[in-house]
Structure 1
Amino acid sequence: MAACMPKPGSLFWTNVGKNWYKFSRNALSVAGLVIVIGIIFSAIFAPWIAPYPQHAGPFVDYDNAGKPPSLQHLCGTDNFGRDLLSRIIFAFRGALIMAVVVLALAVPPGVLLGLVAGYFQGRWIDTMIMRITDVFLGVPPLILALAIASVLEPNLMNAMIAVTVMWWPWYTRLVYGMASSVKNEYFVIAAELNGASKFHIIFREILPNCLSPIFTKMALDVGWVILIGASLSFVGLGEQPPTPALGQMVSDGARYMPTFWWMTVFPALAIVLAILGFNLTGDGIRDMLETRMG
């Protein structure tokens, strides 16, 4: 009997293979994953990949200022003579750091509040949590982020704080709806009848049944966090010069449109590429998890 049991390692790789098969059936999701891997790889190894890594710092070369795209500078140069491709590659670092930090800070409290409010639905704690959540959701996200960032010193850390403050309510609302539904399932009622603690019911019975939508939303949210971060840097509330930031590069180049179009177009295309890659990857993860749940 024991000889017929699959080894844990082989079972793990079997599940990985099944999930990859489901994910790879969508060609657009695979293309998005390739884009995401390329962006992450470029951000990590930027000093070795960027053709002019010194241009990501306080560098000036007026002799090459405003050069159009060429073999020497594939995306052209900015008004200070800095290579745009090199600065875009380094700017991916700040965009990815913002996405990771914002989701790492916003998801846990949002999920926890949603679980507590959903399990204690109809009680005072449910009313208090969800009314506060509704207040945050009632304000347009970008307006709220701009309002918070404007009263803080403009830098990457404060920009991340501003985005985090407006991001957690979406997870609270998502998990609240799922938790309030799951708590009426028979396995939860059985756990309550067996004397299980509320902590056990919330985190061992309800939470595992909410993980798939949470992970799907996280994958889709990376692109939106990058977009919000770029919007903040566009108005000068994100990373400050000479550190490259995609939104700030678009803003700087917009003043020279349409003559020096490449100063705006290529950073904007980088933002679009990042958002597209993460959204396509998120769609594939959603399809994969929904298929597995079915």
Structure 2
Amino acid sequence: MSVQTKSLSLPKGGTRDRLGRSWYKFSRNTMSIVGLGFVLLVTFLAVFAPLVAPYPRHAGKFVDFANASTPPGPRYLLGTDVMGRDILSRIFFGFRFSLMMGVVVLALVVPPGVTLGLIAGYYQGSWIDTVIMRITDIFLAVPPLILALSICSVLTPNLFNAMIAVSLMWWPWYTRLVYGLASTLRNEFFVKSAETMGASRFHIIFKEILPNCISPIFTKMSLDMAWVILLGASLSFVGLGVQPPRPGLGTMVAGGSDYLPEQWWISVFPALAIVVVVVGFNLLGDGLRDMFAAEEV
């Protein structure tokens, strides 16, 4: 006999009605819709950058000194940099690296972080709990940016190593989150019932406890996308992330900072692009959090 978790039972209306109610709760928050719009727009521009960018060649090794440092105008909507490359086109391709950074880092940190949190929470008070959480506390004690900078400075500066550096310092946050949830859920009636019926520990941890942690995990992932992208842009700004001539947003901001304030558009527009991405994911995360909180009431 299978044991039903308290969050997986579907309403009488079925999955379609449940999704409809969830969307209704989400759509009532105007700022969440704005955040979703930003995220969808950025994703579209990143995926179809070669098709929608006015000058796709400008995203690579390209030089046009005849049009260098051109201010925003009809031909170049956001102007050009000191190499004559269209800033708008490079921003579209820069979205690719930003989203790649966020997606890859979360794909690397969420599975181990959640798994360790589940195991430590279920075995709360045992030596397993002590070992996992003390290691987690050690990583959490070091400021994330400082740890990422330290790792990147040892490795060869590039996008891949920046992803590895951020991943090594991001997993403890998921372990800590899930540990708190699992520590509470392990004493719930449905978990005790599964233990009484002889369910395996694997079944209890991943079939009974994990489904009830999904909502907070997804909410944190949407919020963390913004932080990971911002951290990746920070690493690129100091030369430890995306390397020229690739158009990383942080790299573009750093490259144009030497020409402020006369050629302000070289740094300002990539910085605004970072703001759009970060604000979009933050607003989306807030909307998901409110939606999941309303479903639990």
TM over 0.5: same fold? Answer: yes
TM-score when normalising by structure 1: 0.96
Query: Corresponding residue for 1:5?
Result: none
The C-alpha deviation readout for 1:195-229, integer Å capped at 9, x for no partner, is 11111111111111111100000011111110000
Shift of 1:13: 2.2
The one of 256, 262, 266 equivalent to 2:265 is 262
Instruction: Verify: 1:238 aligned to 2:241, yes or no.
Output: yes
Instruction: Verify: 1:286 aligned to 2:286, yes or no.
Output: no
The one of 151, 162, 173 equivalent to 2:176 is 173
The C-alpha deviation readout for 1:156-208, integer Å capped at 9, x for no partner, is 11110011001100000000001001101111112111111111111111111
Q: Flag as ranges the 4+ runs of structure 1 deviating above 2 A.
A: 10-13
Instruction: Verify: 1:77 aligned to 2:76, yes or no.
Output: no
User: Residues of 2 paired with 1:282 and 1:18: CA distance?
Assistant: 18
User: Residues of 2 paired with 1:17 and 1:211: CA distance?
Assistant: 19
The one of 40, 59, 63 equivalent to 2:62 is 59
Aligned residues: 286
The one of 22, 27, 30 equivalent to 1:27 is 30
The C-alpha deviation readout for 1:8-62, integer Å capped at 9, x for no partner, is 9x83322221111011000000011011000000001001111111100100011
The one of 145, 149, 163 equivalent to 2:148 is 145
SS at match of 1:40: helix
User: Residues of 1 paired with 2:20 and 2:121: CA distance?
Assistant: 35
For structure 2, the residue ranges without an aligned partner over 5 or more in a row are 1-10
Amino acid at match of 2:166: V
User: Residues of 2 paired with 1:274 and 1:254: CA distance?
Assistant: 20
Query: Corresponding residue for 1:3?
Result: none
The one of 188, 191, 194 equivalent to 2:191 is 188
Aligned Cα RMSD in Å? 1.1
Aligned residues: percent identity? 66
Amino acid at match of 1:276: V
Amino acid at match of 1:275: V
TM-score when normalising by structure 2: 0.95
The C-alpha deviation readout for 1:232-270, integer Å capped at 9, x for no partner, is 100111111111000000001111111111111000000
SS at match of 1:196: coil
Query: Corresponding residue for 2:6?
Result: none
User: Residues of 1 paired with 2:107 and 2:241: CA distance?
Assistant: 19
User: Residues of 1 paired with 2:15 and 2:48: CA distance?
Assistant: 30
Amino acid at match of 1:199: F
Query: Corresponding residue for 1:13?
Result: 16
User: Residues of 2 paired with 1:114 and 1:244: CA distance?
Assistant: 37
SS at match of 1:269: helix
Query: Corresponding residue for 2:103?
Result: 100
Amino acid at match of 2:112: P
The one of 197, 212, 217 equivalent to 1:214 is 217
Shift of 1:91: 0.4
SS at match of 1:33: helix
Amino acid at match of 2:165: A
User: Residues of 2 paired with 1:86 and 1:22: CA distance?
Assistant: 36
1:100-139 matches, within 5 Å, as 100-139=103-142
